[in-house]
Structure 1
Amino acid sequence: MEKKLLALLCLISVESLFSQENQFKILNANTAEAVENVSVSTASVVIAVSNESGVFRINTEDLPGRFKLSALGYEPLEINLEAGNEVQEIYIYPSSEDLSEVIVRSTMIPKNLREVPAAVNLITQTDFNRTDATNVLETFNNVPGIFVNQGALNTNKINIRGIGARSQYSTNRIQAYFDGIPLTTAEGELTLDDFDQESLDRIEVIKGPTSSIYGAGLGGSINLYSKGLGREEAKAGFTSQFGSFNTQKQVFQASNTTRNSSLYATFTNLSSDGYRDNGNYDRKSALVNGTLKTSENGSLSYLANFTRLKAFIPSSINEDDFLNNPETAAFTWGQSQGYESYDRGMLGGSYTHLLFDNFTNTTSIFLSFRDAYEPRPFDILKEERVSAGVRTKFNLDTRILELPSEISFGAEYYNEWYETGTFENLYEDFPGEGSVLGERESNNEQDRNYANFFAQINLEFTEKWNLEAGFNVNSTNYSLTDLYTQDEVNQTGDYGFDAVFSPRIGTSYEVGEGKNIYASISHGFSTPTVAETLTPEGQINTSLEPETGINYEAGFKGNWLQNKLYTEISVFSIQIDNLLVAQRVAEDQYVGVNAGKTNHNGIEFLTNYRFLVNPGISIKPYINGAINFFEFDEFINNDQDFSGNELPGVPKYTMNLGVDVQSDSGFEFYGNFRNVGEIPLDDANSGYTDQYSLVNLKAGYTFNVFQDLNFNIYGGINNALDEHYAASVLTNAVGFGGASPRYYYPGNPRNYFGGIQLNYIF
């Protein structure tokens, strides 16, 4: 009898040993909070669900093994789990739709998006997935308050709340950074077309004047973030895409992530014949970025990028060609076979160090260059640019008047050397050969530098009410050296602006669980470019002043229906003084004048909803838009009074409706309807574009060829209704020699794309 009892006891002990439960705890990667209702499955069978503490259990007999973790509002995670004696922590990342959980990094002091007293929008992986990936700027049109004029793959200009709309051919008055490295030149010009969404984790956009953080940014700031530490794995990928107009894109990617380091490398080759004549495009770019934890208290991040571009320019056309022959190029651009080409690169590194328990420093250094050649009908432009700088920022967690507080302060110095020269274009003397280099017509050298000193303090009065205040002091000056001695004009001179003080104050209050209201006042400015400071006689106009503006804003951000519904609404008013106006005095010659004031009043809204049809299928409809009331307050130019007129180049409203469908089976679908209102063509409001609507559709299917190799096939239609519309306008165009003004850049007609993607995990 004793032997039987002993045997039974041993059997129970062995069974208990083999059925021992291993505990795992799931945490939000952004907030470190426990995540409940996470399904843990293998071979499509749910074997566990996390409880309110984020904990789930798996029997030892089922380990080791590969499991899939999925939850509403979070990115699915496939992970290898092993047995262990202690609770093992697993981090999962909120999906792009769970906006209230995202920590905003582009503010001086990182904070939960819902609690930031400013209009901040995120462009995430889901936004990237909705498009054909030929131009990252397409994703910006889904952000309320932003409008992108897209003349061609290489002819784009962004305006935020109407600021930057008067730029002729490129984006200005917006500050932009890639992992803390400046992308905006010292003159304020910005080109984002070179970057591919495959290299990005997300983009953060702060709308309205952000000079208290980034210096000369009257319109706002755009911060691009590369992919960083994620799942510990080595991975290689390849994407091949084909589309209408012989558009082709190949992407090669490789990455390796460990607990203490990450390395990502991407090479992209994008080419297209273009919809319009003289519209060929070819761009090759490579990007390498990574992070390295150098010690328990320090980490290093680095970034290197190189782009080689050659893109022909069809330019804008007049109304008759726009209506009847939209595929044609402007006559002189077609005859000269005008194009732009350049090599561009940047290199930078940032080191973050925990100096004390509550005191950190991040210091970045950066270097960039650009070597460009651009044959145009009126001349041939050669440019060389080299920029370098350093930015350092300190963050301190402390208490002020017994209140929990955070303080951030630092400085940035930026220097840019720039040489430009123009030459005769002899294309008319050599018919059919395109542009031919002639005699030199100008040669200038610029040396521009600026320094920013900034500080911000956040005070937490209560758990629900917080206040933040900050300021920036900017100093900008440059020297211009005229190296061309064959004429009688000498443009050599030094020029500087008075120091600009830009304050900001904002507050946020939680009126209910997951619901915040906010209000803020901020100051911004933008300095004139060298071209704007030159008079028709070639002299420097020292009377020009920087544009300045004050932004008044109030809004609401909140969750509803158990965090399934997220909404935002903001109301703003921006008053701009010393408006810089580019007066056209010749075919491609502009001079700048401070000509008046503008009022930028508007309403922006955003709504995202997500629900599960069943545990394996989620549907996420959304709607966002902006209603604009932008007009000249006081504006007299060349004895003409435009006061009260609508601001040209900005639609009266924009609206996006869409739905994203995703399933555990691997099927996904993205549908978007965009409606854009009328756009005034000039200061006199003598003409408008027609309002237009676009429907874009995309579907894909992802499946595993085997455990470590997945395959994605996708396809889509852009402009499915084949709408005829102006994708961009050249404001205040002037016809010379009796020609009609060339206002219009036609948008692409209905076009198709499709591709395949392979990813292998080592």
Structure 2
Amino acid sequence: MNKFIFVSVLLFSFAEVSAQIVKGKIIDASTSSPIENVKIFESDSEVFVFSDSEGVFEIEVNSNSFSLELSALGYLSAKYEGMPNSNSNLTISLIPSRENLSEVIVNGALISKSLQSMPAAISILTSGDIRKTDPSNFAQVFNSVPGVYVNQGALNTTKLNIRGIGARSQYSTNRIQAYFNGIPLTTGEGDLTIDDFDAEAISTIEIIKGPTSSMYGAGLGGVINMYAGNAEINKTQIGISLQVGSFDTNKKTISASHGTENTSLFTTFSDLESDGYRDNGSYKRQSGLISANVFTENGNKLSFLGNFTKLKAFIPSSINENDYLNDPEKAAFTWGSSKGFESYERGLLGISYLHHLSNSLTNLTSIFVNFRDAYEPRPFNILKEERVATGARTKFNLKTTIFKFASELSFGAEYYKEWYNMQTFENLYQDFEDRGSILGNSLSNNEQDRSYANFFAQLNLELSKKLNLETGFNVNTTSYSLEDLFIQDEIDQSGDYRFRTVFSPRIGLTYEIEKGKNIYSSVSHGFSTPTVEETLTPEGQINTDLKPETGINYEVGFKGNWLNHKLYTEVALYSIQIENLLVAQRISEDQYVGINAGKTNHNGIEATIRYKLDLNDKIRIQPYLNAALNYFEFEEFTNRDVDFSGNRLPGVPKSTLNTGFELNYGTNFSFYTNLLAVGEILLNDANSLNTENYQVVDIKARYDFKIFKNFESNVSAGINNVLDEKYASSVLPNAVGFGNSAPRYYYPGNPRNYFVGVGLNYVF
């Protein structure tokens, strides 16, 4: 009897040791938010459970070591191996998958939700979308977004406009806010340089189209959120790649990553050089990035981001119609004679911490600093710039119940401070033949301090299982001070200015017609402030009557999955009414004066179609179509006593069509085609000149294979502008000729060109 009791106790104790409980929490690798309905499968016992609404799970394992397989809709599957420990809980992060577009989580919104449930026109560009294009020309990927058009005069001369907003910009992107891992990229004056970043450094891009000031402050056109690459869980790898192409283009890249269940480290460095298609068009850029995340208990996350860019790029500038038609490789005469270029060093650093204060309350706080030191010899003068900016953003998210409705509240603040010094000097290139730009006497010396503060809040209410309400607002204050340090003239531009406080509300509704099919409507407000230069009169005094440009966006749309998630469609109809239109009047070759000149109407329709067709177990074809048709006009616009009311807005195409397909054979071979068709673009406010329609076809192929067990390799090749189309890749609206010269409206696009690449990756 005693032996029986002893054996029973022994067996019971062994069962207690063998059957143990593993507890944990599943979170999103990008946002650290909990993931519901994750399937957790224990390989040895074949037991599985699902995570609850807080991402929490408990599973029984039957051995001292265990292996968990995790899977969830919208996320990459992952495996976790470990040993039971009753004293701690696991925190496991999953990387979002971009396979089913509608399930993608929009991280850039104040309250993260799936793309399909957002009452806004939002486009997502994944690493797969970026891979389809030429890696040496990252900015072109934005042309695949309906409603977005890229004017690209050269690799370093890129202008984006969203729904026609920003189309009147002369040389740079403005009226669009942009962030990289939550760090502002747009300057205090609203200028944005998007082509500094390397394609291999980016995992995802989110473009929220239309006025977004309720979330981000001064962003009349929209906002671009870019996110750095991530390391895969339990994987360490290092890779190198080389690409060569036409115009003596070559690009060298090295990257490394290390991932565990609670850490992620990703770093990359690239060196890009090109002689360019046109004279005086050589380009050299070096760029490095490091992104690190550390996950602690309860899903808290500490993140660090660092990016550095060094660039020297010569500028061929725009040319007149005769040169565009007959000698497109030619640089503008004065830019070629002065060998004009721009060079700068630019960096940004940021740290953020996401803390779960409770199961229903989280806080995300970020601090950052960025800088830019630039030198730009131009025919009319030489510009030296120094810019340093710092700031912080904090956001609280609270899940609660209001009037018995499930709801989530987000609120917080953002502060941005920028110190900017600008000096100009004479360019004596005409006195020294064939030597290029020569620094002369000082012409101006200004210091500017710019700052803004945003206070924002958003409330999401689940009015029913099918109907959701989203409403919010932003309050912005913007100010600057200008100190004129140049004492050789009698003009003193010093002064302080504060724009009036701007209140930007937003409201949106989403209704689920049936599973996977949603309609939405929204009304949102946006604004953009004038630059310091635009506020100065020709006499150098500050124009205190100048007002921010404001607009209201009315929008309805549909987002839907069909054929068991094989077909995804989006349609958006919008109307944006802009008041106090800011017009930069050119009064000399290098000086502009801003005026509030009237109103514009931006009306349009955008559509997206994506389809996945599996021909057999190995062959998949994914055709796509992105299209935009618009009618942008001046409602009221009088400039220099000329009435342009009723005319169409210059600088933006009437229509764009981006279509093609991706062909995959197994997991090794991919073939990409893309057609970009662009309608005519008006060149001036009078609508008397326009470009011709054009179509550009690009193709690319890539083959991935293993050399040895831990060595992975790939080869790729592509042709840009297969049909050798002659077109203007960028235009300068309302160009003015000086010294009896013809206006220089055109930047010629590249002719047919080629590239090939090879990559090697070692997995530890």
Question: If the length of structure 2 is used for normalisation, what is the TM-score?
Answer: 0.90
Q: Distance in 2 between matches of 1:751 and 1:726?
A: 16
The Cα offsets for residues 135-183 of structure 1, whole Å up to 9 and x where unpaired, read as 2211100000000100000000100000001110000000111111100
Paired amino acid for 2:645: S
Sort the Cα spacing of 1:104 and 1:71 in 2 relative to 1 into closer, same or farther, 3 A: closer
| Equivalent residue for 1:148, pick from 147, 150, 154 | 150
Write out aligned runs for 1:390-405 (5 A).
390-405=392-407
Instruction: State the distance in 2 between where 1:663 and 1:646 align.
Output: 46
- State how far apart, in whole Å, the 1-side matches of 2:367 and 2:379 are: 39
Query: How big is the shift at 1:50?
Result: 13
Q: 1:678-717 to 2 correspondence within 5 Å?
A: 678-717=680-719
1:443 aligns with 2:445: yes
Instruction: Report the alpha carbon displacement of residue 92 of structure 1 after superposing the two structures with TM.
Output: 7.2
Matches of 2:419 and 2:594, distance apart in 1: 22
1:591 aligns with 2:606: no
Counterpart mapping for 1:582-731 below 5 A: 582-731=584-733
Counterpart amino acid of residue 144 in structure 1: P
Work out whether residues 253 and 266 of structure 1, in 8 Å CA contact, stay in contact via their aligned partners in 2: yes
Secondary structure at 1:346's aligned position in 2? strand
Match of 1:569 among 565, 568, 571: 571
Contact 2:301 2:355 in 1 (8 A): yes
Q: Note the C-alpha offset of 1:603.
A: 0.0
CA distance in 2, matches of 1:135, 1:484: 40
Counterpart Cα distance in 1 of 2:558 and 2:267 = 39
CA contact (8 A) 1:28 1:35 kept: no
**In structure 1, which of residues 736, 740, 749 is the aligned counterpart of residue 742 of structure 2?**
740
**Structure 1 residue 201: Cα displacement:** 1.3
Give the letter aligned to residue 638 of structure 2. I
Q: Secondary structure at the match of 1:387?
A: strand
How far has the Cα of 1:232 moved from its partner? 1.6
**What's the Cα RMSD here?**
3.1
- For the 8 Å contact 1:554–1:572, the answer to whether it is kept is yes
CA–CA distance in structure 2, aligned partners of residues 84 and 544 of structure 1: 66
**Of 148, 165, 168, the match for 2:167:** 165
Q: Any idea what SS the aligned residue of 1:477 has?
A: strand
Give 2:286's match in structure 1, choosing from 278, 284, 290.
Answer: 284
> Which residue, 419, 422, 426 being the options, matches 1:420?
422
Choose the corresponding residue for 1:408, options 410, 435, 440. Answer: 410
Q: Which amino acid aligns with 1:634?
A: E
Query: Given that residues 574 and 603 in structure 2 are in contact (C-alpha distance below 8 angstroms), is that contact kept between their aligned partners in structure 1?
Result: yes
- Does the CA-based 8 Å contact 1:229-1:291 persist in structure 2? no
Query: 1:215: how far off?
Result: 0.3
Q: Cα–Cα, structure 1 residues 178 and 363, in superposed 2: closer, same or farther, change >3 Å?
A: same
> d(CA) in 1 for partners of 2:605 and 2:99?
22
User: d(CA) in 2 for partners of 1:689 and 1:35?
Assistant: 55
Q: For 1:9-28, what aligned pairs fall within 5 Å after superposition?
A: none
Task: Output the CA distance in 2 between the equivalents of 1:682 and 1:372.
Answer: 31
Amino acid at match of 1:189: D
Equivalent residue number for residue 187 of structure 1: 189
The residue type paired with residue 522 of structure 1 is S
1:18 corresponds in structure 2 to: none
**Residue of structure 1 in register with 2:16 after alignment:** none
Pairs within 5 Å for 1:68-147: 95-147=97-149
Distance apart, 1:297 and its partner CA: 5.1
Secondary structure of 2:492's counterpart equals coil
1:185 is paired with a residue whose SS is: coil
- Could you say which residue in structure 2 is the equivalent of 1:481? 483
SS of the equivalent of 1:341 reads strand
Q: Partners of 2:80 and 2:655 in 1: how far apart?
A: 49
Partner SS for 1:296: helix
Where 1:722 maps in the other structure, the secondary structure is coil
CA contact (8 A) 2:606 2:628 kept: yes
Instruction: Tell me if the contact between 1:28 and 1:94 (Cα under 8 Å) persists in the aligned partners.
Output: no
- What residue identity is the alignment partner of 2:104? V
Match of 1:45 in 2: none
Deviation string for 1:663-705 (max 9, x for gaps)? 3250101101110000000101111100000110000110011
Amino acid in structure 1 at the alignment position of 2:750? N
State the aligned residue count: 727
Q: Which residue of 2 is the match for residue 9 of structure 1?
A: none
TM-superposed deviation, 1:230: 3.0
Q: How far apart are the structure 2 equivalents of 1:305 and 1:665?
A: 32
Offset from partner CA, 1:87-125 (integer Å, 9 cap, x none): x99987665341111111111000011000001110111
C-alpha contact 1:381 1:420 (8 A) present in aligned 2: yes
Match of 1:232 in 2: 234
SS in 2 for 1:485: coil
Cα deviations by residue, 1:506-554 (Å, 9 ceiling, x for unpaired): 0100001100000000000000000101111111111100000000000
In the alignment, what sits opposite 1:382? Answer: 384
Letter in 2 for 1:394: F
Instruction: Return the alpha-carbon distance in structure 1 between the equivalents of residues 80 and 591 of structure 2.
Output: 63
Q: 5+ residue gaps in structure 2? A: 1-25, 30-34, 52-61
Say which SS state the counterpart of residue 516 (structure 1) adopts.
Answer: strand
Distance 1:495 1:72, change over 3 A: closer
Greater displacement, 131-140 / 214-223: 131-140
Aligned to 1:463: 465
Give me the whole-angstrom Cα distance separating, in 2, the residues matched to 1:244 and 1:716.
Answer: 11
1:555-585 Cα distance to aligned partner (Å, 9 max, x none)? 0001000110000000000000000001011
Q: Which moved more, 1:240-249 or 1:700-709?
A: 700-709
Q: Is the 8 A contact 2:662 2:672 kept in 1?
A: yes
Whole-Å Cα distance in 2 between the matches of residues 736 and 599 of structure 1? 32
1:473–1:64 Cα change, 3 Å? closer
Pairing 1:169-248 to 2, within 5 Å after superposition: 169-228=171-230, 230-248=232-250
TM-score, normalising length from structure 1? 0.91
Deviations 1:580-607 (A, max 9, x none): 0010111121110000100000000000
Structure 2 counterpart of 1:497, from 496, 499, 515: 499
1:404-446 Cα deviation digits (max 9, x unpaired): 0000000011100000010000000001000000000000000
Q: How does 1:268-417 map to 2 (within 5 A)?
A: 268-296=270-298, 298-417=300-419
Of 685-694 and 93-102, deviating more is: 93-102
CA shift, 1:655, in A, is 0.4
Moved more, 611-620 or 173-182: 611-620
* Distance in 2 of aligned mates of 1:258 and 1:395: 27
* CA deviation vs aligned residue, 1:721-756 (integer Å, no higher than 9, x gap): 000000000000011121110000000000000100
3-state SS of paired residue (1:217)? coil
The one-letter amino acid paired with 1:388 is T
* CA apart distance, 1:126: 1.4
Change (3 A) 1:621 1:174: same
Q: Distance in 2 between matches of 1:192 and 1:530?
A: 21
Q: Secondary structure of the equivalent of 2:247?
A: helix
The 2-side partners of 1:604 and 1:94 are apart by 26
Question: In the superposition, relative to structure 1, how do residues 64 and 449 fare at CA in structure 2: closer, same or farther (>3 Å)?
Answer: closer
